[in-house]
Amino acid sequence: MSKPRFVVDALAVGGIGPVDIAVQAGGCLGLSAPSGAGKTRLLRAMADLDAHAGECRLDGVRAADMPAPEWRRQVAFLAAESAWWADTPRAHFDRDCVSLLAALDLEPDLLDTPIGHLSSGQRQRMALVRTLAHTPAVLLLDEPTANLDGVNIERVERLIGDYRTTHDACCIWVSHDEAQLARVASSRLVLDARGQPVSTPCN
């Protein structure tokens, strides 16, 4: 078997963890835990957005050995509620994203619509497009379909699956929806209410 694409060794932030994770190219690890257990903080630590103990490696390269902006482009954290620093989505894109928009049933003219005029579901899908447009190697997905209806959940799941296959990417997908994790995840990690692993990642 080839070496895992993304490896997390003894990662801990605050009182959460430590956790050990290894995800192969094309793989998806489903992460579940009670609310407040620290799932988001773990994802942020993996993206090197928050101080933490332990180590993360992408294709054998440690986060500490890669410039922080490059690590965060390659290991991309998609928040449940993404921040927008410009008035319209277009200012957040520096490359073509028409095919990604179409895959999520988003019209190109939405790029010029004020962020505040987009529905929560449109903002969530647009944030996923913004993330994928930078072609990360690892997707850290924090409830990426929480604001979506069934049809759009299916679109998001299909797009992320296709992206993983096309780009040899992998992802860690946080969800409270066990049925969803059964569909998308090739391995699972479960945390208890204190943020401690109650299972080791397994297929």
Q: Domain limits at 178? A: 6-190
Q: What is the pLDDT of residue 201?
A: 54
Q: How many CB atoms lie within 10 A of CB 164?
A: 19
The pTM of the full predicted model, rounded to 2 decimals, is 0.95
**What is the four-CA torsion angle of 199, 171, 152, 32, rounded to 10 degrees?**
20
Q: Decide: helix, strand or coil at residue 4.
A: coil
Domain membership of residue 155 (yes or no) is: yes
Does 93 reside within a domain? yes
- Whether residue 199 lies inside any domain: the answer is no
| Residue where the block lists tokens 């050995």 | 65
Note whether residue 201 is domain-resident: no
> What CATH number is attached to the domain comprising 120?
3.40.50.300
Residue (of 31, 78, 67) closest to 174 by Cα position: 31
Over residues 70-114, the pLDDT tens digits come to 999 999 999 998 889 999 999 988 778 999 999 999 999 999 999
Look at residue 114 and tell me if it is in a domain. Answer: yes
What confidence score (pLDDT) does residue 17 get?
93
Do residues 70 and 20 touch, judged by C-beta distance below 8 A?
no
Residues of the chain with confidence (pLDDT) below 70? 1-2, 199-203
pLDDT, position 203 = 45
Confidence at residue 133, expressed as pLDDT on a 0 to 100 scale? 94
Q: Give the number of residues written for the chain.
A: 203
For the record, the structure tokens of 91 come out as 């200012």
Is position 196 within any domain? no
What pLDDT is recorded for position 143? 96
Tokens of 68: 């922080």
Q: What is the model's pLDDT at position 2?
A: 65
User: Per the structure, how many domains does the chain have?
Assistant: 1
Residue 30 pLDDT:
97
Alpha-carbon distance 128 to 93, whole Å? 12
Q: β-strand 53-58 against 6-13: which pairing, if any? A: antiparallel
